[in-house]
Structure 1
Amino acid sequence: MKAAVLKAFGEPLSVRQVPDPALGTGEVVVDVVAAGVLPYMAEVLSGERQYLLTLPATPGAGAVGRVRSVGPDTTRLTVGDWVLCDPTVRSRDGAPTPDITLQGLSARGDGGLRLQQHFGRGSFAEQLLVPTENVFPLGSIDPAEAPRWAALNVCLVPYGGLLAADLKAGETVLVNGATGYFGSAGVAVALAMGAGRVVAAGRNRDRLAQLAHRFGSRLRTVSLTGDEDEDRDRMRRAHDPIDVVLDLLPPAAGTAPVRAAAMTVRESGRVVLMGGVGMLGGDDLALPYPWFMRNSITVRGQWMYPPHANTRLIELARSGLLDLDQFEVTEFDLDNAGQAVAHATARAPFSLTVIRP
């Protein structure tokens, strides 16, 4: 099969013939139809993100495709089924904290790197070997719409944060970093889950205006200034009370806007941290102990999402509550994987770049 291969950080991707995946028990081989390209994939491939990725590697996190073959312990999936492939691969040996590799992207610790030795090839390829538990049926879909269904891999990240916050219908969510790739998807997912109001905070005024136009009266926008006290006041004035804060700020944002947003939440509110702040160095997040204690605030970190999030998000999309037509898709063939990575960089919200092998 053909795959895009990264031989060394900083080198361009090369598309070449590689061995087909060898199917084993507890595994599924999927013919990749659409693989989404992260907007920061260029930073991963250059080494700037310092992700744990064993080289040579085939990048690509998540995909939509059709089942090519199944292992002997598979009882429901059949050849030809349309499926969503979840790149969050977890070890199966019963550890309280399983080792994790993000297929085609990164790993958590030495155990995650061991998983990468078997499940390391990502979705920028004609075929993808996936653990059976990471393959989720989509039902019947229009083949021409397969790239749009790849938006589920984007939406799963903020969905994991909102599940961790135990978001309830009618509550108000503040999405910090709402003008970014995952933040804008988080706005859409929160509204699909029944949030009564979403406060979208970010520094890009044009993108905030686009969000306001897209989502109407259930959205309030806040343009951040960089002054922590001023930004906190602006967010509080946008809507009171705020029940949940979901932080999705990127590594370059710094800790001040995170703290400003976290301290807008109401008494007994919930704050979920799942952005990239601090991952490339800089100050640690300092939170005022007395304020959080006296206001009974729950602060939780969340990396990715639980396995059941896949099925539930697919149901939100199939019901129409989460409208995947919001995503504008640009397609590249596998031979132009490098161009796809360049195109994806710093795309506007709801702009999805996909590779179609």
Structure 2
Amino acid sequence: MNAAILKAFGSPLVIETLPDPVLGTGEVVVEVAATRVLSYANEVFSGERRYILDLPVVPGPGGIGRVLQVGPDAAYLVPGDWVFCDPTVRSRDAAASPEITLQGWSARGEGGLHLQRHFRHGSFAERMLVPTENAKPIGPIGPDEAARWCALGTLLVPYGGWLAAGLQAGETVLVSGATGNFGSAGVAVALAMGAACVVAPGRNRAILDDLERRFGSRVQTVELTGEEVTDRERMRQAAPGAIDCVLDLLPPSAPASAARAAIMAVRPYGRVVLMGGVGMLGGPGLELPYPWIMRDCIRILGQWMYPPDAATRLAALVRSGLLSLGQFNVVEFPLDQANAAVAHAAANARPFAMTVLKPS
């Protein structure tokens, strides 16, 4: 099979022929029809993000494809099924605290690296091997729809945050980092789940205006000043009532003060879910006041990715019409233009813009 290979951090991807994946028990081979190229892929491949990734590797977190082969333990999947290849691979021998690796992207610690060495290669290839439980059926689609269904990979991240928060229909929520790719997706998902209002702060006025245009009065935007106390008060004033939940999706480049401004806008007895990258590049810690957390009974939860059943549930939201993949503008590249796709993704890092590789 043909694949795009990262051989060293800081070097371009190389298109080469690799052996086809060899099927084992508990595994599925998928023909990859389309896969996202994340806007920060260049930062991962350069080594700037310091992701744990054992090289050489075929990168690519997840994808859309058709099942080619199933192992003897597959009870439902059959060749020909359209699936989302969930990159969140969990170890099977410690259910309470599994090791996790993002297939073709990053491991969480040494245990995740051990797991990565088996489920090594990602979706920048014509075929990939995934754990049986990570091939999530999405129902029948046309081949020309595969690229748009790659949006599941972006939508799933904030969806995992809202599930962790226990978002209820009718609540008022805030997305910190709403003008980013995952943050804007978080706005769309919250509305699809029934949020009455989403407060969407950010610095980019054009993107804030676009969110208002897309989603109407259920989204209340706030242009940030960079002054923590002022911004917090503006977020509170933008909400029609108390803010029940805050989802933080700020990138590693954001200062801790920006995250804190949004987090502390939540009401007493409110919930906060942290999913962003604040602090990954060093700098001051979050430094939330102990008395505020304790006396206001604030629940703060860290959430990396999403639970195993999230992809199936999210696909059902799409099928129901509550969540539209039509929000995403897709630009496609063939596999042999993988480096051009990485550059395009970085240059077009804006909400609802998706760069897609089509390996097969």
What is the TM-score when the length of structure 2 is the normalising length? Answer: 0.98
The amino acid that maps onto 1:39 is S
Secondary structure, counterpart of 1:252 in structure 2: coil
For 2:354, which of 345, 352, 355 is the aligned residue? 352
Separation (CA, whole Å) in 2 of partners of 1:198 and 1:109: 34
The alignment yields a C-alpha RMSD, in angstroms, of: 0.7
Residue 335 of structure 2 is aligned to residue 337 of structure 1: no
SS at the partner of 1:53?
A: coil
User: CA separation in 2, counterparts of 1:347 and 1:43?
Assistant: 13
**Counterpart AA for 1:337:** A
AA aligned opposite 2:218: R
In the other structure, the counterpart of 2:273 is: 272
What is the rounded CA distance, in whole Å, between the counterparts of 2:110 and 2:263 in structure 1? 32
* Residue identity opposite 1:101 in structure 2: T
Measure how far apart 1:2 and its partner are: 0.4
CA distance in structure 1 between the partners assigned to 2:76 and 2:195 by the alignment: 34
- 1:45-56 matches, cutoff 5 A: 45-56=45-56
Partners in 2 of 1:104 and 1:76 — Cα distance? 26
Alignment of 1:301-340 (within 5 A): 301-340=302-341
Structure 1 gap segments, 5+ residues each: none
Distance in 1 (alpha carbons) for counterparts of 2:167 and 2:48: 34
Alpha-carbon distance between aligned partners in 1 of 2:291 and 2:138, rounded to the nearest angstrom? 47
Corresponding residue for 2:179? 179
Count of residues in Structure 1 that have an aligned counterpart in Structure 2? 357
Structure 2 match to 1:14: 14
**Aligned residue number for residue 150 of structure 1:** 150
Distance 2:193 2:228 in 1: 30
Give 2:121's aligned residue.
Answer: 121
Distance in 2, Cα, partners of 1:35 & 1:95? 29
Which whole-Å CA distance do the structure 2 matches of 1:247 and 1:203 have between them?
15
- The residue number in structure 1 matching 2:161 is 161
Q: Distance in 2 between matches of 1:101 and 1:200?
A: 31
What does residue range 252-267 of structure 1 map to in structure 2 within 5 Å?
252-267=253-268
Greater CA drift, 90-99 or 115-124: 90-99
CA distance in 1, matches of 2:41, 2:249: 17
Query: SS at 1:277's partner residue?
Result: coil
Residue correspondence of structure 1 range 25-36 to structure 2 within 5 A: 25-36=25-36
Letter in 1 for 2:87: P
Query: What is the CA-CA distance between 1:293 and the residue it aligns to?
Result: 1.1
The AA in structure 1 aligned to 2:352 is: F
SS in 2 for 1:174: strand
Deviates more, 1:346-355 or 1:128-137: 346-355
Distance 1:251 1:328 in 2: 25
What letter matches 2:246 in structure 1? Answer: V
Once residues 160 and 308 of structure 2 are traced to their aligned partners in structure 1, the CA distance between those partners, rounded to angstroms, is 9
Q: Which residue of 1 aligns with 2:197?
A: 197
Offset from partner CA, 1:171-193 (integer Å, 9 cap, x none): 01100100001000000000000
Give the match for residue 61 of structure 1.
Answer: 61
Code of the residue aligned with 1:287 in structure 2: it is L
Residues 83-124 of structure 1: CA deviation (Å, up to 9, x unaligned):
111000000112521111100100011111111111010100
| TM-score with structure 1 setting the length | 0.99
Q: Structure 1 vs Structure 2: percent identity of aligned residues?
A: 66
2:88 is aligned to: 88
The farther-off stretch of 290-299 and 21-30 is 290-299
Give the gaps of 5 or more residues in structure 2. Answer: none
Separation in structure 2 between the aligned mates of residue 343 and residue 211 of structure 1, nearest angstrom: 23
**Partner SS state of residue 32, structure 1:** strand
Counterpart of 2:92, as a letter, is R
Q: Within 5 Å, give how 1:104-115 maps onto structure 2.
A: 104-115=104-115
In 2, Cα distance between equivalents of 1:157 and 1:94:
23
SS of match in other structure, 1:251: coil
Distance in 1 separating the partners of 2:4 and 2:228: 43
CA distance in 1, matches of 2:131, 2:274: 28
**What amino acid sits opposite 2:175 in the alignment?**
V
CA distance in 1 between partners of 2:161 and 2:243 (Å) = 16
2:212 counterpart residue number: 212
